[in-house]
Each structure stands twice: as structure tokens, then as C-alpha cells.
Structure 1
Amino acid sequence: MSWTTVLGVVVAILVFWGIGAYNRLMRLRNAIGDAYVLLDQHLNERAELCSALLAKLRPLLASEQATFDSLDSAQAEARTAAQAARLKPYAGDPVAALAVSSAVHAAALTRLMSLLEHQPDLREREGIDPMVDELKLVERQRAFARQVFNMAVTQYNEAARQFPTRILASLYGFAEARSL
């Protein structure tokens, strides 16, 4: 076997490895996008339920406008952040903004739920209990979708950090993804 044959075999192995590593990184990055679609669906459901709940509660609890305004503001911020993350769910900055806005939204929603816990007669009389139950279900589904998203991010980041794939990842701009 001549040295040119050996060199040709080594180059072919490197090319096939490079193609395989690139395709694996793309598949894992696409999995982040797929996981985000599920998460985004639950974020939208939560936003719709919160809006419906607020519409029903505003006339009944006029003294709690600050709580409602806080939730409205947090919801608008979360929608904006979710829209930015929807474009590139594997990019760090939009996902970081979504994480912050989701935390603010969760805090505002917790305040609203706490308020409703102290109003059992209002919840039953006005038919708010089914909406609250549905919102709790969507929150559990959103939490699960968030776990799926974070697992996809972890798998992608681990693959991108492994040597020698790390070299290829940096060459082709596979930046580290951010979890929620």
C-alpha cells in the first residue's frame, strides 16, 4: 500500500466523520426547535387562558387592578420573548429573555392564584373553578414541555462540546444553546 492510498483513506475517513458529525449537530439542533414548538403551544394556551380569566375577573374584583395589570404586563412581555425565541430557539439571547419573562409571568400568575384561593365563593359562583383547573393543567403540560426542551438543549450542547466534534462545531457556528 502506498502512502497516497493511506492518505486517501485517512482523508475519506475524516470527510465521512465530518459529514456525520455535522448531520448529528443539525439533527440535535432541529430537535431543540421541535421541542420548542410543543413548549410554544403551551405558552400560547396559557396566555389565552390567562386573558379569559382576567376578562372574567376584572369586573368582579375591581380592587385588584394592580394584580391584573401586573399579569397583563408580564403576559405581554412573555409573548414578545416567545415570539423572538420562536425564530431561533437554539440561540442564547432570545431564550434567556424568555426565561426571565416566564419567571416574571409565573410570579404574577402565582399572585393571581393566591388571590383566587382566598375567594372560594367567587370561584364557584362565577364558574371560575373550571378555568383555574384548566390553567393548572396547562401549567403542568408547559412544565413537562420545558423539561423536554431542556433535555434537547442538553443533548445538543453535550454533542457540540465533545472532542473532536467541538472543532467542527466552532468552524460551522454551532453555538451553545440555552435552556429554560
Structure 2
Amino acid sequence: MSIILWVIIIILVIIAIVTIVHMYNNLVGLRNRVKNSYAQIDVQLKRRNDLIPNLVETVKGYAGHEKGVLEEVTKARTGVMNATTVEEASAADNQLTGALKTLFAVAENYPDLKANSNFQQLQTELSDTEDKISYARQFYNDVVLKYNNACQMFPTSIIAKIFGFKEETFFQTPESERAVPEVKF
């Protein structure tokens, strides 16, 4: 074989190696972004979990006989703290969100509680944290979409299978919360 043919073969091998390395590194980067974005959700969930005991104690002072609601919030908070997978965290988070909605509905029955500055501050902080959790979930799902696309699209899917890259799970809303609320005047 001529030297030109060997040069062409070497150049093609180098291009193939560089392409494979680039696809692998892209998959690693996307997988790490998924992990980072999930960690950001976890940070916001921790912040919310830290606010909840203060909120529960404030409500206890005004509405101590609403024991069932307070227990449900505490139980749901424990579920979020003990979740180890995206699916568990999503389910526990949805349960906690529902329990908090019930807690705030109960608070509506206590004008003194609603007027309490500590309660108002906690409610505002919790509302801000809920917004941050919502944004973090959206960002996580966007990153998971990019990562899953890379794992499924040719030719990166070949590299993903060879090196064991697995698709990630989206943070999802349960069916019960997807229904359009009925508004009546």
C-alpha cells in the first residue's frame, strides 16, 4: 500500500477516536448536569423541610385542635426526607404539597393566625421556596430531556449502550393534580 493510503487510514482512525471521545464526554457532561439539577431540587426541598417545623409550631399555637392536619404535614415531610429515588421524591413531594395546601386552608379559619407576622413571613418564604422548587423541577426535566435524547439518538446511542449510560426519569405530576380545577362564582 502506498503511503498516502496509510495516511488516509490513520486520519480516519484519529477522526473516529476523536468523535467517540467527544460523544462519550458529552454523555458524561449531560449525566452530571442531571445529577446536579436533581441536587438543586434536593436543596430547595431541604429548605422547605426546614421551614415546615416553624410553620407547624406557629399553627399549633392558634389551631392546636387541628391535630390531624399537622400530623399529615409532618408525616409527608418525613417522606420527602427519606426519599432515595426520583420517583420516591416526586411522590413524597406531591404528598407534602397537598398537605401544605390543607394546612393553609385550615389557617384561613383563624384570622388571628393569618394576621400573625411570623406566620405571614413563613408563608411567604414557603411560597418563594415552592416557586424555586417548581423552577428546579423544570430545569431538571429539561436536562433529563437532553440527556435522554443523547442516549437514544444515533450515533450517540451506540456509545451510551457500550458504556452503560441509562436513561433518567422525569419529575412528574401525579394524575390527580393534572385535572383542571373547577372555578365557580
**Range of TM-score over shorter length:** 0.7 to 0.9
- Aligned pair count? 169
Query: Aligned partners of 2:135 and 2:111: how far apart in 1?
Result: 28
- Alpha carbons 2:33, 2:143 under 8 Å: kept: yes
**What amino acid is the match of 2:152?**
R
Q: 3-state SS of the aligned residue for 2:25?
A: helix
Pick one of 131, 138, 148 that aligns with 1:147.
138
| Larger mean Cα displacement after TM superposition, 27-36 or 169-178 | 27-36
Q: 3-state SS of the aligned residue for 2:159?
A: helix
Greater Rg by CA: 2
- 1:28, distance to aligned residue in structure 2 (A): 0.8
Q: Cα–Cα, structure 1 residues 47 and 6, in superposed 2: closer, same or farther, change >3 Å?
A: same
Q: 3-state SS of the aligned residue for 1:176?
A: coil
Q: Partner of 2:71 in structure 1?
A: 69
Correspondence 1:99 to 2:99:
no
- 1:73, distance to aligned residue in structure 2 (A): 0.8
- Alpha carbons 2:62, 2:110 under 8 Å: kept: no
- 1:77-116 Cα distance to aligned partner (Å, 9 max, x none): 10111xx3xxxxxxxxx11111111111111111111111
Q: 3-state SS of the aligned residue for 1:156?
A: helix
Give the structure, 1 or 2, with the largest relative contact order (CA under 8 Å, sep 6 or more): 1
- 1:112-170 Cα distance to aligned partner (Å, 9 max, x none): 11111232322214631111111111111111111111111111111111101101101
Q: Partner of 2:153 in structure 1?
A: 162
Q: Partner of 2:165 in structure 1?
A: 174
Q: Partner of 2:112 in structure 1?
A: 121
Q: Partner of 1:109 in structure 2?
A: 100
Pick one of 29, 32, 47 that aligns with 1:30.
32
Root-mean-square deviation (Å): 1.7
The TM-score with structure 1 as length reference comes to: 0.86
- 1:32, distance to aligned residue in structure 2 (A): 1.3
Query: Aligned partners of 1:124 and 1:107: how far apart in 2?
Result: 23
- Alpha carbons 2:59, 2:107 under 8 Å: kept: no
**What amino acid is the match of 1:9?**
I
Q: Which runs of 5+ in 1 are unaligned?
A: 85-93
Query: Aligned partners of 1:160 and 1:120: how far apart in 2?
Result: 54
Counterparts in 2 of 1:46-85, with a 5 A limit? 46-81=48-83, 84=84
The TM-score with structure 2 as length reference comes to: 0.84
Pick one of 11, 17, 20 that aligns with 1:18.
20
State the percentage of identical aligned residues.
Answer: 26
Query: Aligned partners of 1:127 and 1:75: how far apart in 2?
Result: 20
Q: Which runs of 5+ in 2 are unaligned?
A: 172-185
